[in-house]
Amino acid sequence: MDKLLCYAHFDEYGKVQPFVFHFLHSMIPLGTELVFISNSPISDSDGAKLSTICSRVIINKNAGYDFSMWKTALDSCHMSDYNEIIITNSSILGPVFPMKDVFSRMEQVECDFWGITTGYLVQRHIQSYFLVFRKNVISSQSFKMFWDSVLPYSNKRQIINSYEVGLTQWLLESGFKPGVYISLEHLRGYCQKAGKRLRKIDNSSVKHALELLAAGSPFIKREAVRNRVIELNQMLPGLENNLLKELFDEHSEEKKFICPLCNSSSKIRIRNVPDFRNPYNTEEYTYFKCGSSRCGVAWINPGVNVCPPVESPPADQPLAQPTFPQKLWSLLQQRAPGNLLQIGTGNEALTETFRKQGWLVTVSNDRMYYPGATETRKSALLDKPEESNQASTFDVITVLNDFGCLTNPSDTLKHCNRVLKQNGILYIKTPNCDSIQLTLFKKYWYGINAPRSLMIHNKSSLTSLLSEANFVSKIINSTGDSGIYTIRSLEARLNRWVSDAFEPNKLQRCLILLIRALIRATQMFVKNSGEEWIVIASKR
């Protein structure tokens, strides 16, 4: 085999989709040795299928993007054994026709390396979703120096500037000649026919995906499908191959997880959320959001993102304690002390205060997940309070910290209804997945406690759960007056780490005040957008 293909793969769901196998099989007739490298776990069955067609299957630690994966793949091979090296990734669908037609045409082009399209972001470059390097480039010191310099950057913009744009510029400076399968001039004619304006600053592989297909591109960028730049039904009639139709039909329906509460379809809400509370866990997590307006809960990917066993954090790095719940305190001041059930990790200082006020406090936190626990998340999470509790036992039940950590909140609430006295109160405080701060800070939002937060609720999901458990509820949308979410989110965004000893400097204090003022002003116009929900419920 005179060609080597390095395929960089990532899938949020930990699957090797059929379109990936279609691409890999399409390259075999060209005399291509395949190296498959993935930044996401894959199943044993997918691994077995890949092993039948690929010489190497590498599961990479999720660090860096495509260039870091390609470097790892190239390091596993003797590059001098090949006349051509191809790097590509799972961002494309296709090919829609045999690749031998593309390679036959490009053999007539005098160039040292080539790709399908050209980009003009920052500087002119060959887009890296499909790049081919010929023998004189492969055997050069410049090519080796480039790959030796590749680092696992986590900033996508830095990767584009340094590596995607940088690779073309570096090879140009080294005296090599680039080639492109579909030039900008060629594409411009198809855009004019479609009544569209083609600009250099556009990412033509996405914005003009349909015109590229008409111009003869063998690939479609998946981003164009996700962003609905191109509807797959626009191209399906032109595909004669039934297998291709099946593959693209399947991709046209978004791969969706089913909501664990209402069984509705979903979409990705937040990607690559790190575990800020435990420095020993280097995994990243994806949260999905229910598409139903009657639910809307966000939850963690249950398939890929199972937290592995990790070493316990040192004693001098305690977990964050929740803020003192003033609404709960005011509520209890109006009642005579009685039996109080505290579900979850709670707050030791608060528990002790309740006891001093005469409350008999029962803490139910067995089988709750903590950083450093050796159990998997499914077996380590609390499903419901102790079954030994008798019916109508408690005057007050609180869930201050861990409502989002419950594997089955519906069963937990039903059990709470059973053990709560008729005139008792259920108090829940939990982050709001419709919060403006989540939109602002994204994966750095303090309300996310990955991977311990299995679900992040909103008003609809809470209302539905409480009604199902036969509770009458008053749900209060907190506006975040304490500022704790803003402070912690800003700290995480600035330093990518949450420290309970964090003290903002003068500039950060000003920034916090500005952000809080902006959030409060926005909340005047956007309902249900506070940082957390406070539920005060009683039996129906």
* Whether 115 contacts 130, CB under 8 Å: yes
**Peptide bond connecting 237 to the previous residue in cis, omega within 30 degrees of 0:** no
Position 462 pLDDT exceeds 90: yes
Going by pLDDT thresholds of 50, 70 and 90, the confidence category of residue 335 is confident
Give the pLDDT score at 324: 55
**Peptide bond connecting 95 to the previous residue in cis, omega within 30 degrees of 0:** yes
Give the pLDDT score at 346: 59
Identity of the residue numbered 344: G
The overall average pLDDT reported for the chain is 81
Residue predicted with more confidence, 401 or 537: 537
Residue predicted with more confidence, 58 or 488: 58
- Of 74-83, 197-206, 278-287, least confident by mean pLDDT is 278-287
Going by pLDDT thresholds of 50, 70 and 90, the confidence category of residue 380 is very low
Going by pLDDT thresholds of 50, 70 and 90, the confidence category of residue 242 is low
pLDDT tens digits, one per residue of 131-142: 999 999 999 999
Going by pLDDT thresholds of 50, 70 and 90, the confidence category of residue 402 is confident
Identity of the residue numbered 454: L
Give the pLDDT score at 374: 33
Strand partners, 36: 7, 57
Going by pLDDT thresholds of 50, 70 and 90, the confidence category of residue 277 is confident
Q: What is the mean pLDDT of residues 158-183?
A: 91
Give the pLDDT score at 491: 75
d(CA 337, CA 359): 5
* Angle, CA of 417, 421 and 426, to the nearest 5°: 55
Tokens linked to 303:
């398939």
Position 247 pLDDT exceeds 70: no
Tokens linked to 144:
């080796």
CA proximity to 442, closest of 428, 456, 461, 427: 456
pLDDT tens digits, one per residue of 503-535: 667 776 777 778 777 777 776 677 777 888 999
Give the pLDDT score at 315: 38
Position 388 pLDDT exceeds 70: no
Task: End-to-end CA distance of the chain: give it in Å, rounded.
Answer: 73
- Of 252-266, 382-396, 406-420, least confident by mean pLDDT is 382-396
Q: What is the mean pLDDT of residues 297-322?
A: 48
Tokens linked to 496:
């990518």
- Of 66-80, 309-323, 326-340, 467-481, least confident by mean pLDDT is 309-323
Q: Delineate the domains of the chain, giving CATH numbers in brackets.
A: 3-252 (3.90.550), 326-539 (3.40.50.150)
- Of 196-200, 448-452, 481-485, 534-538, least confident by mean pLDDT is 481-485
Give the number of other CB atoms < 10 A from CB of residue 218: 22
Give the pLDDT score at 314: 39
pLDDT tens digits, one per residue of 96-110: 889 999 999 999 999
* Whether 19 contacts 89, CB under 8 Å: no
Give the pLDDT score at 304: 41
- Of 217-226, 359-368, 387-396, 453-462, least confident by mean pLDDT is 359-368
Residue predicted with more confidence, 286 or 8: 8
Q: What is the mean pLDDT of residues 400-414?
A: 85
- Of 101-105, 247-251, 352-356, 508-512, least confident by mean pLDDT is 247-251
Going by pLDDT thresholds of 50, 70 and 90, the confidence category of residue 371 is very low
- Of 73-87, 200-214, 222-236, 382-396, least confident by mean pLDDT is 382-396
Going by pLDDT thresholds of 50, 70 and 90, the confidence category of residue 25 is very high
Q: What is the mean pLDDT of residues 47-75?
A: 90
Q: What is the DSSP letter of 227?
A: T
Position 384 pLDDT exceeds 70: no
Q: What is the mean pLDDT of residues 358-384?
A: 50
d(CA 458, CA 478): 12
Confirm whether pTM is higher than 0.75. Answer: no
